A and B are shown apart, each in its own frame.
Chain A
């Protein structure tokens, strides 16, 4: 590893140590213990005899219920990502191309404001909007458009709406950075050559922003599959996702080994996403070096 670097670490390098210690004690050790617990028959502190086992993983793989939970989690994540991309892209494009500084600052505030409002608060907001007596149903009913309240809460649709609202700012900020780096003159050139603005966008800007689309989508997907508050409150404890199942195994069943195995499954999925995200952002910076 050190053979690759041409210069030796100097004294300033020692400043990394407090953070390294924090990561060792509060990150690597706990994750390692979680991996260990996922492969043990019981808690080694309480039980004198514990052995290694694969039964927690076998339980996940062999029981269709747990596979269904994993699939529900991934499905909600995928739909959330697609919707967040569809509504995040236009806003990101506007933010990247707006000329006025004040306009940019206002848009940035509008995107950051939801981000700075806690997840629990935003989920509460969506409960007041989506419930049977909530804003959307009451408005539609008083307008005479519907006779019965629409079933928006306690459905996957409700969960997806809440999750999109919570994670779309991450999509917007990722995309804004990438679109902002695309030279606007490329679009102008296409338009001068006779392409409509829409066609210039579809054939020039959109392909060039693909790495940003990939990075933003991976980020939102990773965040959406690990969400807990929104699926549990907007799903009304009726829709089971991986994070909900993990917490339930701890709080209701105190099955630490099984919770750890589920945690490792979620960790492996997330790690693959993190690596792919870094690759995607690497593509963006690679492009930048080429320009």
Chain B
């Protein structure tokens, strides 16, 4: 209420300059309000993640708050469940295959875009980044229809192909970012000193673009591991990825197993991100 009041006061201020200047100057709590508001937003962002851990440890088989105790039974149930373990294994398999293919294709494409003198580079980049914004559920639907029409069933390569498509933009973007800040004279120097194009690539270009490629690979892994809409259409019953299994479980059950599974996938993501931060630094790669 107070925020709204101060905002509308400020809006009036922008129109009626003199009187409002005094009103705004008479409001000494602006800085405090700014911090309180931002901390509230941070709580909104982070509290739900913390709450998942609370429910993973709470022993009651239904949602209960406040929690009545601490138990590891849901973690035991998760790790003992063949369905969940199979899904976790399959998700990791798909994520690894996707990371390898998306990283190789994406790094090559970024290199071609930055160095190949291709006509219409801007259009190609926009097209390659478009799976980020186009509904992934459409990618899933369109691939599903294609596999049905071609009568190929629901093979793992079909799922990996779909995941590669939606993770490729991350690799292209992080690699292009490095290539754009790259001093091409280093390559020229190597060539002038007699290195072959191939040797220049492996000894100069590749080491320099490595951080971008690694950052892209880590994004690709996380995005694939958490990917849902494409998987929804392309997994076969009995061979589902972890998010699909969790989703199907959530439709009927709300016990702590989901919490435990969530904690496991959050921890996995954090390990990967901290690894990313330690090896290459996050700051320069997360700009949208």
Measuring CB to CB, which residues of chain A are less than 8 angstroms from any residue of chain B? 1-2, 4-5, 7-16, 18-19, 22-23, 25-27, 29-31, 33-34, 37, 43-45, 87, 90-91, 94, 104-105, 107-108, 110-114, 116-129, 131, 133-135, 138-139, 165, 168-170, 173-174, 176-177, 194-199, 202-203, 219, 222-223, 225-226, 228-229, 233, 243, 246-247, 250, 256, 259-260, 263, 266-267, 270-271, 273-274, 277-278
Contacts and interface: CB of A to CB of B under 8 A. Distances in A.
Contacts of A229: 228-229, 247
B90 to A, nearest CB: 15
Main secondary structure of the interface of B (DSSP, over half): helix
Interface string B50-82: 011001000000111110000000000000000
B269 interface: yes
B109 A19 contact: yes
Nearest to B25: A196
Interface string B245-273: 01100110010001101100110011011
B84 interface: no
A243 B246 CA distance: 19
B206 interface: no
Given A44-B149, A202-B10, A233-B251, A19 B262 contact: no
Contacts of B105: 18-19, 22
Contact of A228 (B51, B149, B232): B232
B186 interface: no
18 contacts: A5-B119, A9-B116, A19-B105, A22-B105, A27-B131, A30-B145, A45-B149, A108-B283, A110-B42, A111-B45, A127-B250, A138-B65, A177-B288, A196-B21, A197-B31, A228-B229, A247-B233, A270-B138
A222 B133 contact: yes
Given A19-B168, A22-B105, A131-B63, A219 B133 contact: yes
Given A16-B108, A91-B41, A233-B250, A117 B134 contact: no
Contact of A270 (B124, B135, B145): B135
A247 B48 contact: no
A266 B142 CA distance: 12
Contacts of B116: 9-16
A49 B180 CA distance: 54
A111 B38 CA distance: 12
B66 A16 contact: no
Contact of A12 (B30, B115, B124, B247): B115
A286 B25 CA distance: 35
A42 to B, nearest CB: 12
B247 A129 contact: no
Contacts of A30: 139, 142-143, 145-146
Contacts of A91: 38, 41-42
A127 B55 CA distance: 11
B109 A18 contact: yes
B10 A199 contact: yes
A197 B118 CA distance: 48
B65 A134 contact: yes
Contact of B136 (A14, A94, A195, A226): A226
Top 4 nearest A-B pairs by Cβ distance? Answer: A226-B135, A13-B116, A196-B24, A30-B142
Contacts of B282: 105, 108, 112
A23 B128 contact: yes
A225 B149 CA distance: 27
Contact of B21 (A2, A123, A199, A270): A199
